[in-house]
Amino acid sequence: MTLDLLVFAQAGGQEAVDKFANATSSGIALGAIYALLALGLVLIYKATQVLNFAHGALAALGAFFAAYLATVINFPGRYVTFLPTTVQWILSALVAVLITAVVGLVLERLAIRPMIGEPLFSVVMITIALDIVIRTITDDLIGTNPRPLGDPWGADVVNIGPAIVAKSELATVAVTIIALVGIALFFRSRYGVAMRATAFDQEAAMAQGISAGRIFALAWAIGAGLAAAAGIFSSLFPRSIGVSNTTAFFAFRALPAIVIGGLDSISGAVVGGFIVGLAESYAGAYFIGDTWSFLGLGFAGVMPYIVMLIVLIVRPYGLFGTEEIRRV
């Protein structure tokens, strides 16, 4: 599909190349946020078999923390004034991610742990209820108006070839790559191996002396942290004016990504995220004008779901997901 569009773009001359480049860069930036969200969702699913519907709420909460830390109390920037402002802001964002990770830890302990062994959808319903609770509190904390995050990149842009890319978009992609590498490394560490073992066979892992509870908590903490990172980057220029009461809905847009990649595949989550981002961006850029008016209003928004359906028809467990072995 990409190749076809490229050929099409070249046939249309410079203007078409620009359009294609911009749609691609914007799709990659969007996909990076989806990938971050999907990473967290998949990590939690892999370790605990729970699809976390409170992910968006956690993302908004994390973005709020970042906004509060960076613009209201300037923490930890006020103590490290000798550092450049960019570093100060990154520190604030990191602290926000850490706080959200702790929130994830607490949530797992209080609401998810007691549900071990209960029917799958009761646990999913709990996360939906958690979403209501966290979102209500976050909305109240955010207050009347959206809160800009005060990031150092502002509205700065750089030209990469024919594409005009915002610096914050570059940062998003960078963070996604760092997160992916970090998680890949984590899975090689002691705890990472334990998590993989738990995901593979909980009882066998416990027999080996792995505390499944601790693994669950860890997965939720990392997942919540990734959600916060995604929330922060989805609240930056040009995507948004700041964290607001609609930030939480962003996570629902990432759901097709985890299905396309496969619910239990880390690399699948990232690939799925970029596929969704590009699909949305290309659909928005090319299915426009009178020729495409039969597609109605806002077709780009359902494009990820259509891609998801096509993938599922071909591969019912996603591109990289493990096929469940069904026994009688």
Partner 1 sequence: MRKFRIFALLLVLALVAAACSSDSDETTTTAGAEETTTTAAAEETTTTAAAEETTTTAAAPAELKTDFGVDVEAGTITVGQTADLTGPFAPLVTPILAGQKLYWGWVNANGGIGGMEVLMETRDTAYQVEQHIAAYDEIRDKVVAISHTTGSPQTLAIADALEEDDMIAVPATWYSGWTDTNIAPTVLHLGAPYCLEAMSLLDWVSEEWAKEGNEAPTLAVASIPGDFGLDSMAGALKWAEINGVEVVYDGSATIIPNQDQKPVADAIVASGANMVYVTTTPGTFGEVFGAALQQGFVGAKWSGAGPTYNPAFIAEGSAIADAIQAMWYGGFYAQPWGGDSAGMALTMQLVEEFAPDMPANDYVGLGVSEAMLVHAALQAAYDSGDMTRAGVNAALRTLDNVDFMGLAPNENYTGSTSDQVQRAITLYRPSVANLEAGGSGSEIVANDFVGPTALGFDFQEACYQF
Partner 2 sequence: MRTRPRLYVSYSSEMALLPTWTQKISALIFFALLVVIPFGVIPGFGFLADNDWMKILSRVAIFAIGALGLHILSGLAGQVSLGHAFFVGIGAYTAAILGGEVGKGTWGLGLPIWIWLPAAAIVAAAIGAVIAPVAVRVRGIYLAIVTLGLVFIGEWMFRSLPFITGGSQAGRKFPGLEFRLWQEEVPLIDFTSDGSWFGVEMTSEAKTYLLLLVFVIIGVVIAKNIQRTRIGRAFMSIRDRDIAAEVMGVADTKHKVMAFALSSALAGVTGALMGAFVGRLIPEGFSLFLSIQFVAALLIGGIGTVSGTLLGATFVIVLPRLVQDFTGLLASTAESGTGVLAAIAAFFVSTAENDPGIVSTLPGTSPGLNIAQFNLLLYGLLLIGFLIFEPLGLYGIWIRIRNYWKSWPFTY
In sequence order, which residues have a C-beta less than 8 Å from that of residue 60 and are 6 or more positions away?
Answer: 134, 135, 138, 142, 231, 243, 245, 247, 248
Closest CA to 186 of 210, 218, 214: 218
Residue 145 interacting with partner 1 (CB under 8 A): yes
Among partner 1, partner 2, none, the one that 151 touches (CB under a kind-dependent 5 to 8 A) is partner 1
Residue 253 interacting with partner 1 (CB under 8 A): yes
Residue 295 interacting with partner 2 (CB under 8 A): yes
Residue type (1 letter), 30: L
Among partner 2, partner 1, none, the one that 245 touches (CB under a kind-dependent 5 to 8 A) is partner 1
Compute CA 215 distance to the chain's CA centroid, rounded to the nearest angstrom: 21
Q: Are 30 and 199 in contact (CB under 8 A)?
A: no
* Antiparallel, parallel or unpaired: β 163-166 and 157-160: antiparallel
- Least Å from the CB of residue 314 to partner 2: 10
- Judged by CB, which is closer to partner 2: 155, or 297? 297
Give the binding range for partner 1 (CB under 8 A) out of 139-147, 174-182, 194-202, 319-327: 139-147
- Least Å from the CB of residue 192 to partner 2: 23
By CB under 8 A, name the one of 195, 255, 276, 278 that touches partner 2: 255
Closest CA to 220 of 55, 75, 69: 55
- Least Å from the CB of residue 207 to partner 2: 26
Planar angle of CA 76, 82, 88, nearest 5 degrees: 35
Residue 246 interacting with partner 1 (CB under 8 A): yes
In sequence order, which residues have a C-beta less than 8 Å from that of residue 287 and are 6 or more positions away?
Answer: 295, 299, 300
Residue 35 interacting with partner 2 (CB under 8 A): no
Give the binding range for partner 1 (CB under 8 A) out of 150-158, 212-220, 267-275, 307-315: 150-158
Q: Are 242 and 56 in contact (CB under 8 A)?
A: no
- Least Å from the CB of residue 82 to partner 1: 21
In sequence order, which residues have a C-beta less than 8 Å from that of residue 26 and are 6 or more positions away?
Answer: 169, 281
Backbone angles phi, psi at 159, to 5 degrees: -95, 120
H or E segment to which residue 231 belongs: helix 212-234
- Least Å from the CB of residue 172 to partner 2: 24
- Least Å from the CB of residue 30 to partner 2: 17
Query: Whole-angstrom Cα distance, residue 149 to residue 118?
Result: 40
Q: Is 295 exposed, middle or buried (0-12, 13-18, 19+ CB in 10 A)?
A: middle
Residue 144 interacting with partner 2 (CB under 8 A): yes
Residues that bind partner 2 (CB under 8 A): 45, 51, 111, 114-115, 118-122, 124-126, 128-133, 136-137, 139-140, 143-144, 252, 255-256, 258-259, 263, 295-299, 301-302, 305-306, 308-309, 312-313, 316-318, 324, 326-328
Residues that bind partner 1 (CB under 8 A): 19, 22, 26, 30, 67, 70-71, 106, 109-111, 113-114, 133, 136-137, 139-140, 143-151, 153-155, 157, 164, 166, 168, 236-242, 244-246, 249-250, 252-253, 280-281, 284-285, 288, 297-298, 300-301
